[in-house]
Chains A and B, each alone.
Chain A
């Protein structure tokens, strides 16, 4: 975008100022290259590039994320820019209006930041520690499972199912997360298991 703008501005200035001169004689290509090379090192010198995939639809456009700080070196990394991956065979560097604004969802004001619990009848969430939240989840699961687990059906067939708790899985998580989720959920005997593929 910046490059295009600068080219247009340059052309405008050039045609007004140097009438009758051909583009070739202006050395147009050199100036563009010089402009690009003045940006490139700045980006690479100060930021870490990471390859990722757009989180929205299943076109799965390649993206490059630029961060201050390098996660791989154990540093705190703050993503400051995201753009299309020009080497990606599908999107070739392009992004749609949603993808072009990916940075805004990474830094959304309404990201969840801390575990919270809303007690029955309450009108607010209360911040808790991870330990409190996870212990509570495990307790609620176990109590419900122990009370309602069906080991055998009416005909005496082993069915080992737990129907009073269900799990909706996320279609934007990785395959690896999905596999870990699958293992944990199925091991409890949950059958009310679904993801967005249904809707």
Chain B
């Protein structure tokens, strides 16, 4: 989230698209209700199902899953055509006026530079034209300005085209577009609340970018009641992302080197972030300070200027990432021997279950650390049709380690709104369950002891890992949190007076502003710096004070970065530093500095008409055109899901996202509409959380049994009755379920074809208190988003038939 849950009360219009907050985030959704009741805010829901969010919406429009880009570019086209643009904001704070290189173009669904064999682009033309001064040229009236290119790019998405692609009736689309366009007023704000309904597509990143672009032309980023608000899933999924527990990341969105970056100098050469416009902050210019401080937190005194701060201790990538899809593919090929699942149940949460079981069966060892008995830890157990395997033929050694749950553990979790909230342990762990940090320490210490005793493959990074905890076998949460915040590794003196120590060795740094690239500071994750400084554990703060009731709650817990509650908040004021909306002030220029309700997201003394609000970008502005930063285009474009009920009407030759990675053999496992005529989507129920609550008694009673949801029209056609049994199958698998026939799902008319939708909730497996059941991953295709490899769970094809159910 750019904003926070409590800030939603400040909005005038909520758009829920790609999510279902009323059911999946009920207590956060209450802030929508608050805005509706107290501000007269309106709620729009766009979804294939008439969800409970839709049930309380002021306006609902149906859409076929996987066509959000066409819809949103249609809204942008409407706003531009009707001059519903926050022009002052667009001209000052976005890259709309910048000129793009000659040669860049878009035709037949493809941008310049496509290589069909590689399924990739040569992106050399997707960039700015630079002047002799090294700065990007700017002229909004130029035919190749971002604005003019974008205007042309979206012009094809007329209301008629939106109806053809999305199945949204034209009048409904126009009503939504009109309501949204009103938020181009500087005194009207819209917020976007989205979740997996946007991410779980082969073009998920572009779904989100589309809305970000729309929010920018409406002037809704950086303001109270605005923003791009990702409603994240797990309680600390934001934290694990921030801390970089992903193949290609270091903490704080730094990146793991690839093997072409053989030395620290080469690695840094592409991370200079020289400003692209005069006087811009281009804050990533501090990259090296964050990187070196991270290396010091990892390897302490073993990271020295002489060894480039242990640069060689980091593994180097040979592919963009070893994401979960690539790893299961390699496992399936027999190229992975060991796998750890810490609180993760991939047998139910990665796509194409049949392939997953085959892959896990090829492992030599599997280690599962979990507070619950997961299906993954039991993938080798025969559970009849719910897990039909031959245990004797599976040679994987499986080690299951019991862990504590939230109630027995202490530490911080980062919520969707970037608040780090400390919590305390209140219960004794059951049986012999242990904290995950204890288990990880024990693994480290035992591995280290083996290397000390036996020697072996390059062991320095293990032997020299900084592990100076009071009890190395069991570091405390406080010790770890302090390391994440950062501290001085040596006395740091005043640059003008070497005798004056400004930060003594061992003291906590106040924030990332004092981190250094000379090794005198260590910091686990720069964006969390300030969370636990010499003022104490700021994450444990619990003041409900909220000056002037803005919804910021600045002294409740701590939010990254530097306790800032709304990102890009300088954009809440115009080019002179005057708030766009006096009734919703956030930050303003008092003549000499920025002041207001939030920590300024800019140098406090940066003059408003000189320094742009988007300080992480070398331009200082936000990007409507992303240059070469996304694999599938500098603008979003409509692509169908890999399994779609209709062809791409804009580019009939293109299947799915033209650059999404597809492994050998998986393309052949995609079904087509002739064989699998119905458009399926997965979803979640308000009574369940993923695959956990089936282990909890009350939720298991409330929703005890797997079902699929279809509309009355399809039920009638196929002779399916509510409560009757059905079989649903795709090219990859088959499931049996009870049918729930509802009015919530209605067929859509797309390009002259009737499209029926099948909804498949995902909470069942073969462990826990519910009845045994299947999940959508028995059916879903093995393909992910082109940029970040999130699997396409929200749009795929199935067939359905009525069957005789089991006799009770």
A positions within 8 Å CB-CB of B: 48, 50-62, 65, 67, 69, 71, 76-79, 82, 87, 89-92, 94-102, 104-123, 125, 130, 133-142, 144-146, 148-149, 151, 153, 155, 157-199
Could you tell me which residues of chain B, from 492 to 549, have a CB within 8 Å of some CB in chain A? 524-525, 528, 542, 544, 546
Q: Does B666 contact A (CB under 8 A)?
A: no
Q: Does B425 contact A (CB under 8 A)?
A: yes
Please give the distance in Å from A109's CB to the nearest CB on chain B: 7
Q: Does B318 contact A (CB under 8 A)?
A: yes
Contacts of A136 in B (CB 8 A): 399
What is the CA–CA distance of A39 and B546 in the complex, to the nearest angstrom?
Answer: 31
Of the stretches B71-79, B241-249, B598-606, B628-636, the one at the interface is B241-249
Could you tell me which residues of chain B, from 309 to 368, have a CB within 8 Å of some CB in chain A? 312-318, 322-324, 326-327, 330-331, 335-344, 346, 349-350, 364-365, 367
Contacts of A111 in B (CB 8 A): 371-373, 402, 405, 430-431, 433, 695
Taking CB as reference atom, which chain A residue is nearest B551?
A89
Contacts of A162 in B (CB 8 A): 315, 457
Taking a contact as CB atoms closer than 8 A, the residue among A79, A155, A193 that contacts B246 in the complex is: A193
Contacts of A168 in B (CB 8 A): 324, 339-342, 344, 346
Q: Does B420 contact A (CB under 8 A)?
A: yes
Dominant secondary structure at the A interface: mixed
Taking CB as reference atom, which chain B residue is nearest A54?
B235
What is the CA–CA distance of A182 and B484 in the complex, to the nearest angstrom?
Answer: 11
Could you tell me which residues of chain B, from 395 to 438, have a CB within 8 Å of some CB in chain A? 395-403, 405-407, 409-416, 419-421, 423-428, 430-437
Q: Does B769 contact A (CB under 8 A)?
A: yes
**B790 x A123 contact (CB < 8 A):** no
30 A-B interface contacts by CB (under 8 A): A55-B405, A57-B233, A58-B238, A77-B426, A82-B407, A97-B702, A98-B699, A112-B372, A114-B431, A117-B399, A137-B443, A138-B443, A138-B449, A140-B364, A142-B450, A157-B316, A159-B259, A160-B458, A171-B234, A173-B240, A174-B413, A177-B437, A179-B243, A179-B524, A179-B525, A182-B243, A182-B251, A182-B524, A189-B461, A194-B247
**A187 x B233 contact (CB < 8 A):** no
With A174-B413, A180-B437 known, 10 other A-B pairs at CB within 8 A are A94-B27, A112-B371, A112-B373, A123-B392, A140-B364, A145-B456, A172-B236, A183-B298, A194-B246, A196-B240
Contacts of B432 in A (CB 8 A): 113-115, 130
Please give the distance in Å from B224's CB to the nearest CB on chain A: 15
A97/B699 contact (C-beta < 8 A), A60-B416, A166-B336, A186-B298 known: yes
Contacts of A98 in B (CB 8 A): 686-689, 693, 699
Taking CB as reference atom, which chain B residue is nearest A113?
B431
Q: Does B698 contact A (CB under 8 A)?
A: yes
Please give the distance in Å from A144's CB to the nearest CB on chain B: 5
Contacts of B788 in A (CB 8 A): 198
Contacts of B338 in A (CB 8 A): 140-141, 144, 164-166
Contacts of B24 in A (CB 8 A): 57
Contacts of B542 in A (CB 8 A): 51, 87
Contacts of A48 in B (CB 8 A): 426
A-B contact count, CB below 8 Å?
498
Of the stretches B168-176, B181-189, B269-277, B475-483, the one at the interface is B475-483
What is the CA–CA distance of A186 and B243 in the complex, to the nearest angstrom?
Answer: 12
Q: Does B697 contact A (CB under 8 A)?
A: yes
Contacts of B365 in A (CB 8 A): 140, 144
**B323 x A71 contact (CB < 8 A):** no
A196/B233 contact (C-beta < 8 A), A51-B423, A177-B411, A183-B298 known: yes
What is the CA–CA distance of A148 and B458 in the complex, to the nearest angstrom?
Answer: 11
**A79 x B426 contact (CB < 8 A):** yes
Taking a contact as CB atoms closer than 8 A, the residue among A52, A139, A184, A189 that contacts B440 in the complex is: A184
Contacts of A135 in B (CB 8 A): 446
**B462 x A137 contact (CB < 8 A):** no
Taking CB as reference atom, which chain B residue is nearest A163?
B322
Please give the distance in Å from A89's CB to the nearest CB on chain B: 5
**B340 x A167 contact (CB < 8 A):** yes
Taking a contact as CB atoms closer than 8 A, the residue among B341, B407, B412 that contacts A175 in the complex is: B412
Please give the distance in Å from B192's CB to the nearest CB on chain A: 16
**B398 x A118 contact (CB < 8 A):** yes
Contacts of A51 in B (CB 8 A): 423-424, 542
A115/B480 contact (C-beta < 8 A), A138-B450, A181-B342, A194-B246 known: no
Q: Does B556 contact A (CB under 8 A)?
A: yes
Taking a contact as CB atoms closer than 8 A, the residue among B25, B318, B373, B451 that contacts A153 in the complex is: B318
**A197 x B450 contact (CB < 8 A):** no
Interface string of B291-317 (1 = CB under 8 A from A): 000000010000000000000111111
What is the CA–CA distance of A109 and B769 in the complex, to the nearest angstrom?
Answer: 8
**B458 x A191 contact (CB < 8 A):** no
What is the CA–CA distance of A125 and B768 in the complex, to the nearest angstrom?
Answer: 17
Taking CB as reference atom, which chain A residue is nearest B262?
A157
What is the CA–CA distance of A137 and B788 in the complex, to the nearest angstrom?
Answer: 31
Size of chain B's interface in residues, with CB distance under 8 A? 166
A67/B27 contact (C-beta < 8 A), A53-B421, A112-B371 known: no
Contacts of A191 in B (CB 8 A): 247, 256, 315, 317, 322
What is the CA–CA distance of A101 and B336 in the complex, to the nearest angstrom?
Answer: 39
Taking a contact as CB atoms closer than 8 A, the residue among B324, B364, B695 that contacts A108 in the complex is: B695
**A101 x B698 contact (CB < 8 A):** yes
Please give the distance in Å from B91's CB to the nearest CB on chain A: 35
What is the CA–CA distance of A173 and B237 in the complex, to the nearest angstrom?
Answer: 9
Taking CB as reference atom, which chain A residue is nearest B531?
A175
**B423 x A58 contact (CB < 8 A):** no
A142/B696 contact (C-beta < 8 A), A117-B399, A176-B484 known: no
Please give the distance in Å from A84's CB to the nearest CB on chain B: 8
Taking CB as reference atom, which chain B residue is nearest A115?
B401
Taking CB as reference atom, which chain B residue is nearest A96?
B26
Contacts of A53 in B (CB 8 A): 235, 406, 413, 415, 421, 423
**A60 x B421 contact (CB < 8 A):** yes
Could you tell me which residues of chain B, from 764 to 786, have a CB within 8 Å of some CB in chain A? 767-769, 784
**A71 x B697 contact (CB < 8 A):** no
Taking a contact as CB atoms closer than 8 A, the residue among B31, B316, B397, B789 that contacts A117 in the complex is: B397
What is the CA–CA distance of A45 and B138 in the complex, to the nearest angstrom?
Answer: 70
Taking CB as reference atom, which chain A residue is nearest B546?
A89
Please give the distance in Å from B203's CB to the nearest CB on chain A: 16
Contacts of B371 in A (CB 8 A): 111-112
What is the CA–CA distance of A58 and B475 in the complex, to the nearest angstrom?
Answer: 26
Contacts of B451 in A (CB 8 A): 142
**A165 x B336 contact (CB < 8 A):** yes
Contacts of B597 in A (CB 8 A): none
What is the CA–CA distance of A138 and B432 in the complex, to the nearest angstrom?
Answer: 19
Contacts of A140 in B (CB 8 A): 338, 364-365, 367, 397
**A55 x B406 contact (CB < 8 A):** yes
What is the CA–CA distance of A110 and B242 in the complex, to the nearest angstrom?
Answer: 31
What is the CA–CA distance of A3 and B394 in the complex, to the nearest angstrom?
Answer: 56
Q: Does B585 contact A (CB under 8 A)?
A: no
Contacts of A158 in B (CB 8 A): 262, 312, 316
**A166 x B421 contact (CB < 8 A):** no
Q: Does B627 contact A (CB under 8 A)?
A: no
**B407 x A79 contact (CB < 8 A):** yes
**A105 x B380 contact (CB < 8 A):** no
What is the CA–CA distance of A145 and B240 in the complex, to the nearest angstrom?
Answer: 25
Best-surrounded residue of B28, B343, B399, B446 (most CB of chain A within 10 A):
B399
Taking a contact as CB atoms closer than 8 A, the residue among B245, B401, B437 that contacts A194 in the complex is: B245
**A178 x B243 contact (CB < 8 A):** yes
Please give the distance in Å from B540's CB to the nearest CB on chain A: 9
A78/B344 contact (C-beta < 8 A), A180-B480, A196-B233 known: no
**B480 x A198 contact (CB < 8 A):** no
Contacts of A194 in B (CB 8 A): 245-247, 322-324, 327
What is the CA–CA distance of A87 and B426 in the complex, to the nearest angstrom?
Answer: 18
A58/B323 contact (C-beta < 8 A), A157-B259, A182-B244, A193-B246 known: no
Taking a contact as CB atoms closer than 8 A, the residue among B315, B433, B697 that contacts A159 in the complex is: B315
Please give the distance in Å from B788's CB to the nearest CB on chain A: 7
Best-surrounded residue of B200, B317, B458, B483 (most CB of chain A within 10 A):
B458
